[in-house]
């Protein structure tokens, strides 16, 4: 490593802010500091970002391939042996059951290059339609609603820094003070309206906190639109000139008068009026949605209703105002637009579109007829594993569905029913523990590539360290498997820059067009947001200022109405159980639970309960509780929280074993986005009779 490479400008390995960092050598490891010149985090990091280098040297880092023997135990293997084993077993399964008997499950933390090549590998080397990724559990509802409304899906169609000039920001189901703390630097000036059943750290900072019954956000959004119209806050010129479909949407919203909304949601009428006035009176206002609004069986309609509110007020496509979604995972944006989703090809093209298939086939050098069609979405894919007609083999890259998927116990059973489970990861996650073959791969500081953050900004991840001996990059893994499966070697480059050059061609002309972005431009310091359709194009930091992406240039109102959640509370399960993230941990916790500082900050599973609710259940602070639903039971330590709703309990989803929050979540899916209903489960809480 040259002296000039003793420090590199790169990005945090966690959330979709992708905070800028300067990563330098520190003995055998690395040390991190914020990049003061990167506008997203403005010189700040959260505790996860500060401690990220610890991941590089965790004691149980995977350093050699592992193959499960006949006795059920893992045996270390060399790379050729492990890849030969995987390829031979994949060949046998495909020959016996067909190409769709092999499936791929990707991750929202993979670089753009990995996500792109993984989608290509699945559809060509495996010939399977069965590929999806854990980003389906993240913001698929917002993606579906945003595409329907605006013609394209980008988390924030404006730079994060624009929020710093806002007067009012409505956050619906988002808790950035814990999930992405550096974002709060941009929200310090604004008056916040927070919609959340919990009194979160973000809600604590709000000028107004609306605390609805879990699962009633859609009714609340309809009510806010009702008030915006009847109290004269609608922007009639904007609605006339820049949108279509208002009257159909109004037919539903007009029935949601404030008193009805209060009865359904519990949000007082005056608080509803105040929220609308705060948005309408602001010179610069934003409506932002997060997982709390999206992770429902009606999540797409809920997001659409908040978009309707923003459109009625004339916010989207107006400089200094707008609507956006706070994407969660580090590369959740790039991961879906570059081909990991079951129904999409690179460039955010639909796989069922003949023109899209011809374009991608030409880039890949194959006949369009050989490309498979749409496959199963994430939960449906996991649910079908090992069943008649379902996949018999699964390759997992960068995900831990044993903890993160809904109906987690059921998903673990389906994984165990496979003929072959292959997991590529860098730590022994709970999914790794079930694998037949484990492939140790590089971490963020050991690889080059690009990521796309929540504002559509394409970023360079830069390598500082060499990976440990015995560890390979995901691109090398895909290349090695593809060649063994009979593919030409040149079809699967192992150099990230070479993959990106192909990715540029593949996305040309698509909704998410990267054609004009290059490593050279990024390394020269240019700030480039897609779409960037030509080498000289400056990129598009602010979308929709002149027109929306639909052919007629107009945004679409959505005609949506409230409906109940799939899981109804009743005598047996009288409480709403809702899940989410906490400050110290990230996603399934496989990484952050290994960082001592983060583990000490949030060491074990807990459940937040109102003191009165706990007393009725015979529970006290610190005692073990069993939280049960119709699907299963999780065990958690009681935390008494006086600001909780008495009808609601909260469980973080970062913990393994009997503490998995997703043991209680169900399999109801949004009909448009296929998002599972993580945020509402009918539960009961009672003392746990035995040890944790």
Q: Is the pLDDT of residue 415 over 70?
A: yes
**Between the CA of residue 95 and those of 82, 85, 238, 508, what are the distances in Å?**
20, 16, 58, 35
C-alpha span between 351 and 348 (Å, rounded): 9
Q: What is the pTM of this model?
A: 0.97
Tens digit of each residue's pLDDT (9 = 90 or more) over 199-248? 999 999 999 999 999 999 999 999 999 999 999 999 999 999 999 999 99
User: What average pLDDT does range 171-190 have in this prediction?
Assistant: 97
Are 108 and 101 in contact, with CB atoms under 8 Å apart? no
Which residues, in sequence order, are CB contacts of 486 under 8 Å at separation 6+?
none
pLDDT at 692: 62
* pLDDT above 90 (res 27): no
Q: For 427-449, what is each residue's pLDDT tens digit?
A: 999 999 999 999 999 999 999 99
For residues 558 and 245, the answer to whether their CB atoms sit within 8 Å is yes
Instruction: Of 571, 652, 650, give the one whose Cα is nearest residue 609.
Output: 650
SS3 627: strand
Answer yes or no: are the C-beta atoms of 454 and 156 closer than 8 Å: yes
Query: Is the predicted pLDDT of residue 495 greater than 90, yes or no?
Result: yes
Contact 366, 147 (CB under 8 A): no
Task: Check whether 586 has a pLDDT greater than 50.
Answer: yes
Cα 124 to Cα 410: distance, rounded to the nearest angstrom: 30
3-state helix, strand, coil split of the chain in percent (to 5) is 35, 20, 45
Q: Model confidence over 475-493: pLDDT tens digits?
A: 999 999 999 999 999 999 9
279 in Cβ contact with 311 (< 8 Å): no
Beta strands 633-640 and 624-628, pairing class: antiparallel
| 634, β-bridge pairs | 627
pLDDT per residue over 588-630, tens digit each? 999 999 999 999 999 999 999 999 999 999 999 999 999 999 9
pLDDT at 165: 97
- Position 4 scores a pLDDT of 43
| CA-closest candidate to residue 486, choices 94, 103, 106 | 94
CB 113 within 8 A of CB 335: no
Enter the tokens of residue 9: 């400008």
| Alpha carbon distance 608, 388 (integer Å) | 41
Does residue 463 contact residue 447 with C-beta atoms inside 8 Å?
yes
Backbone angles phi, psi at 49, to 5 degrees: -65, -40
First to last CA, the chain: 48
**Residue 90 token pair:** 């994949």
Calculate mean pLDDT across residues 134-163: 96
Cβ-contact 154, 456 below 8 angstroms: yes
Instruction: Say whether pLDDT at 89 is over 60.
Output: yes
pLDDT, tens only, 386-398: 999 999 999 999 9
Distance from C-alpha of 439 to C-alpha of 478, rounded to nearest angstrom: 11
Q: CA-to-CA distance for 139 and 332, rounded, in angstroms?
A: 8
In the structure, what pLDDT confidence band is assigned to residue 3 with cuts at 50, 70 and 90?
very low
Q: Is the model's pLDDT at 530 over the cut of 80? A: yes
Inform me whether the pLDDT recorded for 689 exceeds 90.
Answer: no
pLDDT tens string 536-546: 999 999 999 99
Residues 338-371 have pLDDT tens digits of 999 999 999 999 999 999 999 999 999 999 999 9
Quote the Cα angle for 68-74-75, to 5°.
100
Torsion of CA 385, 387, 393, 394, to 10 degrees: -10
Domains of the chain: 3-57 (3.30.200.210), 66-136+331-441+473-507 (3.40.50.740), 140-326 (3.40.228.10), 575-687 (2.40.40.20)
Asked whether 179 and 625 are in contact (CB, 8 A), the reply is: no
Name the residue with tokens 């999806």. Answer: 132
**Residue 327 banded pLDDT, cuts 50, 70, 90:** confident
Instruction: Note the pLDDT of residue 1.
Output: 40
**Would you state the structure tokens that stand for residue 268, as one six-digit string?**
């007082």
| Residue 690 predicted with pLDDT over 90 | no
Question: Distance between CA atoms of 406 and 401, rounded to whole angstroms?
Answer: 8
Of the pLDDT bands very low, low, confident and very high (cuts 50, 70, 90), residue 10 is: very high
Q: Rounded distance, CA 146 to CA 400, Å?
A: 27
| Angstrom distance (rounded) from CA 170 to CA 285 | 8
């Amino acid at each position: 490593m040259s002296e000039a490479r003793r420090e590199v400008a790169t990005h945090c390995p966690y959330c979709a802010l992708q905070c800028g960092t300067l990563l330098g050598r520190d003995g055998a490891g690395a040390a991190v500091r914020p990049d003061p010149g990167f506008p997203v985090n403005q010189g700040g990091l959260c505790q996860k970002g500060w401690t990220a280098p610890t991941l590089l040297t965790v004691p149980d880092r995977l350093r050699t391939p592992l193959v499960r023997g006949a006795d059920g135990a893992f045996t270390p293997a060399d790379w050729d042996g492990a890849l030969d084993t995987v390829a031979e077993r994949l060949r046998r399964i495909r020959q016996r059951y067909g190409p769709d008997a092999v499936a791929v499950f990707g991750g929202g933390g993979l670089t753009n290059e990995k996500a792109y090549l993984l989608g290509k590998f699945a559809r060509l080397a495996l010939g399977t339609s069965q590929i999806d990724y854990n980003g389906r559990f993240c913001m698929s509802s917002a993606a579906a609603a945003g595409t329907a409304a605006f013609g394209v899906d980008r988390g924030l169609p404006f730079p994060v820094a624009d929020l710093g000039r806002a007067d009012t920001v409505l956050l619906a189901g988002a808790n950035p003070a814990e999930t992405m703390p550096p974002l709060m630097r941009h929200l310090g000036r604004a008056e916040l309206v927070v919609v959340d059943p919990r009194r979160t750290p973000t809600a604590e900072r709000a000028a107004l906190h609306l605390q609805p019954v879990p699962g009633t956000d859609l009714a609340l959004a309809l009510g806010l639109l009702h008030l915006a119209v009847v109290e004269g806050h609608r922007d009639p010129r904007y609605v006339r000139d820049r949108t279509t479909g208002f009257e159909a949407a109004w037919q539903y919203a007009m029935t949601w008068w404030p008193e009805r909304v209060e009865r359904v949601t519990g949000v007082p009428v005056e608080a509803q009026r105040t929220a609308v006035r705060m948005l309408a009176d602001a010179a610069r206002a934003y409506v932002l949605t997060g997982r709390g609004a999206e992770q429902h069986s009606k999540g797409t309609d809920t997001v659409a209703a908040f978009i309707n509110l923003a459109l009625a007020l004339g916010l989207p496509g107006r400089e200094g105002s707008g609507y956006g979604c706070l994407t969660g995972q580090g590369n959740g944006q790039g991961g879906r637009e570059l081909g990991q989703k079951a129904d999409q090809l690179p460039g955010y093209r639909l796989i069922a579109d003949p023109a899209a298939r011809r374009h991608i086939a030409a880039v890949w050098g194959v006949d369009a007829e050989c490309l498979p069609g749409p496959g199963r979405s994430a939960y449906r894919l996991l649910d079908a594993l090992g069943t008649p007609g379902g996949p018999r083999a699964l390759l997992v890259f960068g995900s831990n569905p044993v903890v993160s998927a809904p109906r987690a116990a059921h998903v673990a059973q389906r994984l165990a029913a496979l003929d072959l489970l292959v997991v590529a990861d860098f730590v022994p996650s709970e999914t790794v523990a079930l694998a037949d073959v484990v492939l140790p791969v590089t971490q963020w500081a050991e690889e080059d590539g690009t990521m796309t953050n929540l504002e559509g900004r394409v970023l360079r991840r830069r390598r500082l360290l060499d990976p440990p001996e015995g560890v390979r990059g995901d691109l090398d893994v895909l290349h090695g498997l593809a060649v063994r499966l009979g593919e030409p070697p040149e079809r699967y480059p192992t150099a990230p820059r070479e993959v990106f050059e192909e990715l540029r061609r593949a996305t040309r002309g698509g909704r998410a067009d990267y054609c004009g972005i290059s490593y050279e431009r990024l390394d020269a310091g240019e700030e480039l947001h897609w779409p960037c359709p030509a080498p000289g194009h400056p990129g598009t930091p602010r979308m929709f200022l002149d027109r929306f992406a639909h052919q007629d240039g107009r945004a679409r109102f959505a005609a949506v109405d409230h409906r109940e959640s799939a899981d109804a509370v009743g005598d047996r399960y009288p409480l709403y159980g809702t899940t989410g993230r906490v400050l110290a941990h990230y996603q399934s916790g496989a990484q952050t639970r290994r960082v001592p500082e983060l583990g000490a900050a949030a060491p074990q599973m807990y459940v937040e309960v109102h003191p009165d609710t706990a007393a009725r259940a015979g529970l006290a602070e610190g005692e073990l509780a069993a939280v049960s639903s119709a699907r299963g039971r999780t065990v958690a330590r009681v935390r008494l929280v006086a600001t909780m709703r008495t009808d609601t309990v909260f469980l973080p989803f970062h913990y393994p074993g009997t503490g998995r929050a997703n043991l209680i979540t169900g399999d109801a899916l949004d009909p448009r986005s296929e998002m599972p209903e993580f945020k509402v489960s009918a539960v009961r809480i009672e003392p746990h009779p035995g040890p944790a």
